[in-house]
Chains A and B, each alone.
Chain A
Amino acid sequence: MKLVILFIASLVLWSADPPKQPIAFSHKHHAGSLNLKCETCHVNPAPGEMMTFPAESKCMGCHQVIKKESAEIQRLAKFFTDKKRVPWVRVYQVPSFVFWSHKTHIDAGNTCTECHGDVAALEVMTKLKELSMGSCMDCHRQKKVSNDCTFCHDKEN
């Protein structure tokens, strides 16, 4: 029965309001001005479903010496020394009832901007692209990828 699957899959809400983050982080500076690649900070561990937030140690690799007088960096440093994760607020999230793999999409040659927009131009991380079942299906159709229900959703057993 695909009825329920389709209904639930359409629940993903799209909002242009950026969530408040625990530390002011500028993608515009890091990915734009410094031209860092996305995967420099966001690694994709096996099996590859998720991209991840960078470890605090990764940030501190640079910020132990760069801009360490900044209040924001000092907050970052406290998370690092306290061995706590920075509670970043996720901007994009695919529901748990959708099979989603970053690795599959990256391996197929898709770029980050296709789903996330021009993040390198953003001072504050904001949802630029709608992520709904409709937008997924449109992209799949354009790229000649299956839109079969079971391609993204589990079939009830």
Chain B
Amino acid sequence: MKTEYDVLIIGSGASGGMAAHTLTKLGAKCVMLDAGALIDPEKQRVLRAVSDLPYRGFGKPGRFPHVTQASEFSANMWADEKENPYTYDPGNPYYWVRIRLVGGKTLAWGRASWRLSDYEFKCKDHDGFGDNWPIEYKDLAPFYDRVEPMFRVSGRKEGFPQIPDGNFLADESRDSLCVQRFLDSCRRQEVPTTKQRRSTGTLASSLNLLLPEALATGNLTLVPNAVVRELSLDKATGKVNGAHFVDRISKREFHVKAKAIVLGASTLESTRILLNSNLANSSGTLGHYLFDQFYVKNVVQAIVPEARGGKAPRNLMGGGGYIPRFRNLKTKSKDFIRGYSYDFGSGNTPGPQYFSAYGEKLWNQMADAQGTGFSLTTMGEVLPRFENYVRINRTKTDAWGIPILHINQKYTANEFAMAKDSMNTAEALCKDSGFEILAKHWEMVPPGESIHELGTTRMGSDPKRSVLNGWNQTHDIKNLFVVDGGAFVSGGSQNPTLTILALTMRASEYLMDQSKKGSL
């Protein structure tokens, strides 16, 4: 490609999309490379009855061994694991869940939109572990304020310092009677609760909310099916000047030139590109401090007894809510630092695994419990540790001949203690609400499965201990930015997308400011 662009953006999801949206509106001529195809969801998604699917919705066994979210309905959405392999140590599995389509994971995200607080940004000041971010909440708050209306985030203002209020569409929905009972129980035990905060709309994706406006400026060239091999460096200036990429279909090699590069290919893909490029690693921390958030799915599955046998009166069942972090804010737990949150919901039907019966007896028990369920899922903070890392596996490549990642992440005693505490607390809350406990457990999903992988290109004030500065700019190369979840220093238990969007908007405006000053 002969044109030299102002900015090369790699990736088109939350971070790449927001970078394009911000930079093109500020007048930058941008080119965006994405490894996946450009789809039109309105035309290309087809609704099929489960009876028309060969595996009745469950999917072909073994096609997505690490994507528990995949089903036959969505099978074509996920990145093919044979074309895009990765490795991990036996016995220490990592579930890397990827979508390679323009729009990235915003085509399918859960939309939970929580702000981080200074409990995360200043975490070391609070409990002494890890590192503070080089920014604090007040630096990012104005950008959260602008992102929330773009994504039509619905929520309820509460004044909780651990999940700062935002610019919401007001959620004034009423709670069902069983949820009210649970909320009363939480109040008695001084556990905070609120409504979910979620982006609304039929599709809440980079594909429909960010990229169309960027393209409308005339400043964005979008190149789908462009698998980036590595960045190129001008050795005379020490700055990056473009990227080598492979056309996904023809496998032809290309190079694109740009004055600055914004990496937003997802936490681990951006790190893989940097490692394969042998750039931005003077600190030796590139790839390290990998963390995510652990989930304990259905940590407690309870039943609302009055709803058994289809006898639920109107307004008893349905709806749910969210419990933000409440541990280690003003008090200290003896077994762990940091905290966890819960999603809770009611009206579900417990699956057959919850009943020790077979045949007609099982059928009857499940029928009796139809729509009676009340369950909670734990989302816990995982501590960022140097020992959790990714590196390049030099012995294997993907379908385009690009070396792949070897991923190493383990949960430690802090996460296990937190998971166990979450089970006991959820059980106590459900019992106090008058619910029957059907099952409880504290088995965390494998690392990666929450799809909240973070770190590996973390921010920091000290260039010897971090990859990025407080503006998502690499310490080593001024015209190279990383704007996805890799920048996180800590993540709390809040879903990270809203913060990625806000950080990217902030970083993109800084990039333009620096570019105009001639400081890149």
Task: Give A residues with C-beta under 8 Å from B.
Answer: 1-4, 6-8, 10-13, 47, 95-97, 99, 107, 130, 132-135, 137-138, 140-141, 144-151, 154-157
Given known pairs A1-B69, A6-B111, A157-B351, the reply for A147 and B74 (CB within 8 Å) is: no
Q: Are A3 and B173 in contact (CB under 8 A)?
A: no
Contacts of A107 in B (CB 8 A): 314
Given known pairs A8-B74, A151-B318, the reply for A3 and B345 (CB within 8 Å) is: no
Given known pairs A3-B109, A4-B70, the reply for A147 and B348 (CB within 8 Å) is: no
Q: Which interface residue of A47, A137, A149, A155 has the most chain B CB atoms within 10 A?
A: A155
Interface size on B, as a range, is: 35 or more
User: Is B399 an interface position by the 8 A CB rule?
Assistant: no
Shortest Cβ distance from residue A110 to the other chain B in the assembled complex, whole angstroms? 14
User: Is B82 an interface position by the 8 A CB rule?
Assistant: no
Shortest Cβ distance from residue B65 to the other chain A in the assembled complex, whole angstroms? 16
Contacts of A13 in B (CB 8 A): 42, 45, 47
9 pairs, A vs B, C-beta closer than 8 Å: A4-B108, A6-B109, A12-B47, A95-B47, A107-B314, A138-B200, A140-B173, A141-B154, A141-B200
User: Chain B: which residue is nearest A140 at the CB level?
Assistant: B173
Given known pairs A138-B200, A146-B175, the reply for A1 and B351 (CB within 8 Å) is: no
Q: How far is the CA of A144 from the CA of B176 in the complex (A)?
A: 12
Q: How far is the CA of A97 from the CA of B169 in the complex (A)?
A: 26
Q: Are B320 and A150 in contact (CB under 8 A)?
A: yes
Contacts of B176 in A (CB 8 A): 146
Contacts of A146 in B (CB 8 A): 173-176, 318-320
Which residue of A1, A151, A155 contacts B68 across the interface (Cβ within 8 Å)?
A: A1
Q: How far is the CA of A8 from the CA of B347 in the complex (A)?
A: 20
Q: Which interface residue of B50, B105, B196, B202 has the most chain A CB atoms within 10 A?
A: B202
Q: Are B348 and A11 in contact (CB under 8 A)?
A: no
User: Is B321 an interface position by the 8 A CB rule?
Assistant: yes
Closest A-B pairs by Cβ, 6 of them:
A134-B202, A150-B345, A146-B319, A157-B351, A7-B108, A2-B110
Q: Which interface residue of A6, A13, A95 has the most chain B CB atoms within 10 A?
A: A6
Q: How far is the CA of A1 from the CA of B108 in the complex (A)?
A: 11
| CB interface residues, B 432-472, toward A, < 8 Å | 449, 451
Contacts of B49 in A (CB 8 A): 96
Q: How far is the CA of A130 from the CA of B373 in the complex (A)?
A: 31
Contacts of A47 in B (CB 8 A): 310
Contacts of A145 in B (CB 8 A): 173-174
User: Chain B: which residue is nearest A107 at the CB level?
Assistant: B314
User: Is B24 an interface position by the 8 A CB rule?
Assistant: no
User: Chain A: which residue is nearest B295 at the CB level?
Assistant: A1
Q: How far is the CA of A154 from the CA of B57 in the complex (A)?
A: 15
Query: Given A135-B202, A155-B298, 8 more contacts at CB 8 Å?
Result: A3-B69, A3-B451, A4-B71, A137-B200, A147-B154, A148-B320, A150-B348, A155-B373
Contacts of A134 in B (CB 8 A): 200-203
Contacts of A132 in B (CB 8 A): 202
Contacts of B41 in A (CB 8 A): 10
Contacts of B196 in A (CB 8 A): 147-149
Contacts of B200 in A (CB 8 A): 134, 137-138, 141, 147
Shortest Cβ distance from residue A2 to the other chain B in the assembled complex, whole angstroms? 4
